[in-house]
Structure 1
């Protein structure tokens, strides 16, 4: 009786987001996590499913091409992209890969990594790549929209933004903000007051997290901690067991149209694909599919 009552209550509670935590292999492997499967139930759609697993909507779409994100057919088996290659940068502090729309947080000790979906800058207001540090931590931040954003908002919506939006439910920064020591300090990692935009390109250049995620991260990070923002469409790894793994994401367009993965490839990726023990056909399929899931292309 008590168990049924608890399940009934939980069914009507909003879905809370919790970081996906992965153990970091100690043998030199960069592969973490395990793929999961979700069977679509009546009433499911990609936004509710992405919240359930705390992943981004676009990455869920990448791993399940051809499935209607708004009306997935009940009974459809979805692949949940909770397996990934760690970015090939120093595993310190915060690492954000724009192409993945993921934030990685590496606590000291090197034994685990916490992964969050993020919203990033939209076309025309792209989030820049950078290696920087945390300048300040701001609880209950106010928001001072730049003149350019106030101008765009007026032109697009016919509404004039106030010069300063105080802390509170109407503040788009949410309850917590982490200021980065980059440029004029206007780039933030912050929360949101809207149930929309995580795992998408919707911001004016800042990094947006779910409210629960930013609250957790805000409590863990420290002043001066390293922040690395990259834009790596293709990740590769030669694993200790000999597997040649590649993980391909859709490149970020700068025009609103589709970008070409092949033209975005960097020299290291080209050299990886050219290895003798790599199957070129498998590699080409991975580059074209862009599933966002690690694939073994060993010959």
Structure 2
């Protein structure tokens, strides 16, 4: 984790000439498919100051760029060709409302009545103040929010020599930005909101809320209604068998519990259902292990195992009748840990 921490520190700072891109919106794939988008490449220009500004241009997270490029410098040299991870597998959840996958630092929004999905980068809770996994709803829409720091936030700030006022009024200096969506969990303290610290989007720095770029929260706020379903998951591994028979695995670095943990080598524990699905799908185990080791953060094609039976007509864990009926006590839990750096 130390290498990533140093990169994270370098992400803050200068403003690039790049502009913020509009949110990515994709037509929903049919026939049970889950893959959307295409990866892109970008050649670093002389005016690009850091990865965070490049990430904002493509409306993605800097940590996802780090995953995709592995050994990239925090301030890449002009001429460096950077992979932008804009291909992904949809989370294996109902395509309804807002779906957040904490492990990939992304928020998916499925507009009602439209055959599309919008994908946004988010900042999430730091170690010890994690954003909770849950199924909830939007309980309140708050334009021009004021911010009332909790006692815990004020105490932590005071320990760092910062005295926070009891209430910060709405305006450009407000940490919640111009728009906030209150969620129906806890005591109402969890929000999806904007921020006055744009470089914090795509990182684990909040007290549990989810932060968005200003254009993104404005767009989401305009579309979402009170009562919208919100599903928050934490799944670093996504696996799909597409209608054309191709297997894909998308592996992200798991969320660490402490800043000292190395997320490149931290063990990944698959749920019994997902582990069973991957085993039954017939993908090549060596290729799956390689992807679990590399943790590239975008879909990787997995060839069929030698002498493997033809794949069942099962496209995902969620829509697998057998997986749903399987007794979790007899399903296999797979923990993957490799030595060294990827």
TM-score (normalised: structure 1)? 0.92
2:111 to 94, 107, 110: 107
Partner residue in 1 for 2:102: 98
The answer to whether the aligner puts 1:68 opposite 2:73 as a matched pair is yes
Partner residue in 2 for 1:3: none
Partner residue in 2 for 1:273: 278
Deviations 1:7-64 (A, max 9, x none): xxxxx97723411011111121000011111122223231221111110000011000
Structure 2: how far apart are the matches of 1:141 and 1:216? 16
Query: Judging changes above 3 Å, is the alpha-carbon distance between structure 1 residues 149 and 242 closer, same or farther for their aligned structure 2 residues?
Result: same
Structure 2: how far apart are the matches of 1:153 and 1:144? 13
- Ranges of 4+ aligned residues in structure 1 off by more than 3 Å: 259-263
TM-score (normalised: structure 2)? 0.81
Structure 2: how far apart are the matches of 1:57 and 1:263? 22
1:169 to 172, 176, 183: 172
- Secondary structure of 1:275 counterpart: helix
Structure 2: how far apart are the matches of 1:236 and 1:42? 38
Structure 1: how far apart are the matches of 2:239 and 2:200? 28
Structure 2: how far apart are the matches of 1:251 and 1:14? 30
Deviation at 1:110, TM superposition (A): 5.0
Deviation at 1:147, TM superposition (A): 0.3
Which 5+ residue runs of structure 2 have no aligned equivalent? 1-15, 305-342
For the aligned residues, what is the CA RMSD? 1.5
The 5 Å alignment of 1:1-299 reads: 15-44=19-48, 45-70=50-75, 72-156=76-160, 158-256=161-259, 257-259=261-263, 262-275=267-280, 277-299=282-304
Aligned length, in residue pairs:
286
Check conservation: 1:24, 1:110, Cα contact below 8 A: no
Which 5+ residue runs of structure 1 have no aligned equivalent? 1-11
- Secondary structure of 2:280 counterpart: coil
Deviations 1:205-235 (A, max 9, x none): 0000001100110000001010010000100
- Secondary structure of 1:125 counterpart: coil
Deviations 1:185-223 (A, max 9, x none): 110000011221111101110000001100110000001
Deviation at 1:298, TM superposition (A): 2.2
